[in-house]
Chains A and B, each alone.
Chain A
């Protein structure tokens, strides 16, 4: 499919940047239009693949932001974005909508700009275009604390209500160890970009390579049209890898001249899909709670096995407890990898979302309590015990 992609805030812009990087590395052409929108001038300088003229700074004339972000405050994020909505609409006028199938808005939900401003941007897009608008939302990790959880819990409601699908990425599940701050985020964003691009780039070409079960954008749109929250699983393997248990009959060497027979190809496909489904999902969830499932097998067409695809589909129908399972292929003639991306659409059982909501409720109570006591506590601090001392002015 062909997408217009828009990153809102720091986290969202970085993901879009990594998506463009991944598609250029793998010769895909998914992101036909790219925009980064932010309230912080410094963060807008970071993307490497989003052209300068496609970066929009909002709120630079707003007293509360002035090009320096919104301080992680969702309210200000929404306010600043709404105030500059005309500027954003003007930027979106450039989208050649006849060239895209859908619009994807990426945003982090824990901060202020993405979580507060994202829904405002989505409103504008829904208003301007008939094409579906999807969100790619990054949920804050538990370790990020109560305020981001509160921002995310509030913002998640707005996002899910406004978009045609909300694809979630849970920072907690992908929290890396033993990395520097910089590498940690880079790594997560790369993983996410690989999944989303592999999944959505299927059927992006106009002159479709001959593919038996070619996926096209209407299949993807149909699977995503659930108005719910989705999760993506992913697995990849080298094209010349042998399926498990099969010994190299030629005693090493000459593997490329030795295509696997149909049975082992089928096994390879099925086990790849199984591995993708059981992999670390972008949002850990109960697979059986999904309403619809879509699988994109991507790689050289010679590796595709109709039998493998069919048995993978049957297996998934059982796992996901739904008959709405589509498995298609996405031919990449020169690719050295065979990959499977599994989209679980409208998953209703995702423990992490419950945890965020509980964390948010606690945070909200604590914040309200502190606010209520604030004046009194300050007054106690600056007043002596018996109020003997007068203020100087």
Chain B
């Protein structure tokens, strides 16, 4: 599908930059250059690799409280965004929405700009367009300041009801504390999932699956609204050996025909299982999902029909919903089999509960010691 990308705040802008970078280097296209990044700052200090300069807008530069940014103050970000919205709208007008399926607002929800300006933006975009407005939101990590939990928790209350669906990403799972740029790895990971799920490769009649999922399928899956999570798992096919060697490496000595048929189905199922267990962008109770979608991609000769069917059936049981769409995405010559799963409207998310508790405690502490200075927002 084709979505305009709108990045808000530092984290959101960087993530859009990463997605655009992946887009330009691969065959999957999502925004086709229709993007905009928005930040609040006194100085226009964009430093992107892939977002063109004229597609970045800095607002709030004349606001007296704005310095390098809003210093984690989401209420200030809301105020600035409302005041300066005409500037954003001018840039939005450049995007040819007629050709697109919707908008994806990308924001870090811990920061002041992402959480505050993001909420205003979703509201305004819904008024401007009659197409779906989705949000890709990054939740603050447990080791980040509690004030970020407050930002994210308050922001979710505004964004989730306003957006057509809010896909969340839990940074904790992916951040590598030892890396030079701790967000680089999670950003790459998230960008590649977003592209795998939403973006198709070139339309080549040979590469059209028996059950090709189209943008209407994704829109329908996301239409209940609420919060969504994306799972992904891939497995390398060994060159030459392919399926069998993969099987043997897992089920050594278990190579009679009947059991290899069983494992063939089991293998795709275990891939889908894997994508849900440790590999969700937002860990959640799978059975709380209202709708689900799964796409299997890989060389067509490796996409077993039984595996496909049993994976779909298994997903229907796990999610406890009949609204499960399954599609195949044959990629000739590919050396991996991948499963990407979209869980829509998940309502049991321990991370969100924990974040809300942290936020409430922080607010209570702040009220108890009104003179305490907040220096944790950066």
Bound complex: CA of A392 vs CA of B130, how far in Å? 24
Does A257 have its Cβ within 8 Å of any Cβ on chain B? no
Binds B, one of A162-170, A207-215, A374-382: A374-382
Does B171 have its Cβ within 8 Å of any Cβ on chain A? no
Asked if A71 and B220 sit within 8 Å, CB to CB, the answer is yes
Minimum distance in angstroms from B197 CB to a CB of chain A: 15
Does A68 have its Cβ within 8 Å of any Cβ on chain B? yes
Q: Which residues of B contact A388 (CB under 8 A)?
A: 360, 363
Does B304 have its Cβ within 8 Å of any Cβ on chain A? yes
Asked if A143 and B313 sit within 8 Å, CB to CB, the answer is yes
Counting chain B CB atoms within 10 Å of each CB, the highest count among A45, A71, A177 belongs to: A71
- Interface 1/0s, chain A 14-44, versus B by CB < 8 A? 0000000000000000000000000111110
Asked if A146 and B363 sit within 8 Å, CB to CB, the answer is no
Asked if B161 and A392 sit within 8 Å, CB to CB, the answer is no
Does B216 have its Cβ within 8 Å of any Cβ on chain A? yes
Minimum distance in angstroms from B34 CB to a CB of chain A: 16
Does A349 have its Cβ within 8 Å of any Cβ on chain B? no
A392-B154 contact given A366-B322, A384-B356, CB 8 Å threshold? yes
Q: Which residues of A contact B120 (CB under 8 A)?
A: 393
Minimum distance in angstroms from B369 CB to a CB of chain A: 17
Q: Which residues of A contact B247 (CB under 8 A)?
A: none
- Interface 1/0s, chain B 103-134, versus A by CB < 8 A? 00000000000011001100100000011000
Q: Which residues of B contact A180 (CB under 8 A)?
A: 300-305
A393-B321 contact given A71-B219, A180-B305, CB 8 Å threshold? no
Task: List A337-371 residues whose CB lies under 8 Å from chain B.
Answer: 362-363, 366-367, 370-371
Asked if A370 and B321 sit within 8 Å, CB to CB, the answer is yes
- Return the contact of A40 from the options B123, B214, B226, B305 (Cβ within 8 A): B214
- Return the contact of B352 from the options A71, A176, A381 (Cβ within 8 A): A381
Binds A, one of B11-19, B180-188, B204-212: B204-212
Binds A, one of B54-62, B140-148, B324-332: B324-332
Asked if A389 and B356 sit within 8 Å, CB to CB, the answer is yes
Does A385 have its Cβ within 8 Å of any Cβ on chain B? yes
Task: List B138-176 residues whose CB lies under 8 Å from chain A.
Answer: 150-151, 153-158, 160-161
Does A185 have its Cβ within 8 Å of any Cβ on chain B? yes
List the B residue with the shortest CB-CB distance to A67. B214
Asked if A390 and B154 sit within 8 Å, CB to CB, the answer is yes
Bound complex: CA of A185 vs CA of B309, how far in Å? 12
Binds B, one of A58-66, A114-122, A130-138, A193-201: A58-66
Does A51 have its Cβ within 8 Å of any Cβ on chain B? no
- Interface 1/0s, chain B 344-377, versus A by CB < 8 A? 0101110010001101100100000000000000
Q: Which residues of A contact B238 (CB under 8 A)?
A: none
Bound complex: CA of A377 vs CA of B215, how far in Å? 26
List the A residue with the shortest CB-CB distance to B220. A71
A185-B324 contact given A68-B215, A143-B312, CB 8 Å threshold? no
Minimum distance in angstroms from A35 CB to a CB of chain B: 19
Asked if B300 and A392 sit within 8 Å, CB to CB, the answer is no
- Interface 1/0s, chain A 55-88, versus B by CB < 8 A? 0000000011110111111001000000000000
Q: Which residues of A contact B313 (CB under 8 A)?
A: 143, 145
Number of A residues whose C-beta is below 8 Å from B?
60
Minimum distance in angstroms from B210 CB to a CB of chain A: 5
Minimum distance in angstroms from B73 CB to a CB of chain A: 11
Minimum distance in angstroms from A360 CB to a CB of chain B: 9
Minimum distance in angstroms from B44 CB to a CB of chain A: 25
Asked if A392 and B219 sit within 8 Å, CB to CB, the answer is no
Number of B residues whose C-beta is below 8 Å from A?
76
Counting chain A CB atoms within 10 Å of each CB, the highest count among B151, B157, B352 belongs to: B157
Asked if B323 and A181 sit within 8 Å, CB to CB, the answer is no
Q: Which residues of B contact A63 (CB under 8 A)?
A: 130-131
Q: Which residues of A contact B232 (CB under 8 A)?
A: none
Asked if A393 and B303 sit within 8 Å, CB to CB, the answer is no
Does B23 have its Cβ within 8 Å of any Cβ on chain A? no
Asked if A182 and B352 sit within 8 Å, CB to CB, the answer is no
Bound complex: CA of A377 vs CA of B289, how far in Å? 11
Asked if B217 and A389 sit within 8 Å, CB to CB, the answer is no
Does B316 have its Cβ within 8 Å of any Cβ on chain A? yes
- Interface 1/0s, chain A 154-186, versus B by CB < 8 A? 000000000000000000000111111111110
- Return the contact of B153 from the options A40, A65, A176, A384 (Cβ within 8 A): A384
Counting chain A CB atoms within 10 Å of each CB, the highest count among B101, B116, B216, B321 belongs to: B216
Does B38 have its Cβ within 8 Å of any Cβ on chain A? no
Asked if A145 and B205 sit within 8 Å, CB to CB, the answer is no
Bound complex: CA of A386 vs CA of B364, how far in Å? 12
Does A46 have its Cβ within 8 Å of any Cβ on chain B? yes
Asked if A68 and B160 sit within 8 Å, CB to CB, the answer is no
Does A383 have its Cβ within 8 Å of any Cβ on chain B? yes
Q: Which residues of B contact A141 (CB under 8 A)?
A: 309
Does B74 have its Cβ within 8 Å of any Cβ on chain A? yes
Bound complex: CA of A358 vs CA of B132, how far in Å? 34
A181-B209 contact given A66-B101, A392-B119, A393-B78, CB 8 Å threshold? yes
Does A252 have its Cβ within 8 Å of any Cβ on chain B? no
- Return the contact of B1 from the options A64, A68, A393 (Cβ within 8 A): A68
Q: Which residues of A contact B363 (CB under 8 A)?
A: 388-389
Q: Which residues of A contact B312 (CB under 8 A)?
A: 143-145
- Return the contact of A71 from the options B209, B325, B345 (Cβ within 8 A): B325
Asked if B220 and A73 sit within 8 Å, CB to CB, the answer is yes
- Interface 1/0s, chain B 254-288, versus A by CB < 8 A? 00000001001000000000000000000000001
Does B72 have its Cβ within 8 Å of any Cβ on chain A? no
Q: Which residues of A contact B216 (CB under 8 A)?
A: 39-40, 64-66, 68-71, 73, 76
Does B221 have its Cβ within 8 Å of any Cβ on chain A? yes
Bound complex: CA of A5 vs CA of B209, how far in Å? 24
Asked if B321 and A366 sit within 8 Å, CB to CB, the answer is yes
Asked if A42 and B203 sit within 8 Å, CB to CB, the answer is yes
**A interface list, Cβ under 8 A from B:** 10, 39-43, 45-46, 63-66, 68-73, 76, 141, 143-147, 149-150, 175-185, 362-363, 366-367, 370-371, 374, 377-378, 380-386, 388-393
**B interface list, Cβ under 8 A from A:** 1, 74-75, 78, 101, 115-116, 119-120, 123, 130-131, 150-151, 153-158, 160-161, 203, 205, 208-212, 214-221, 224-227, 261, 264, 288, 290, 296, 300-306, 308-310, 312-313, 316, 321-325, 328, 330, 345, 347-349, 352, 356-357, 359-360, 363
Taking A179-B304, A392-B151 as known contacts, 4 extra A-B pairs with beta carbons closer than 8 A to each other, sorted by chain A number, are A42-B214, A72-B220, A374-B226, A381-B347
7 pairs of residues in contact across A and B, judged by CB atoms under 8 Å: A40-B212, A68-B214, A178-B304, A370-B321, A378-B161, A391-B154, A391-B158
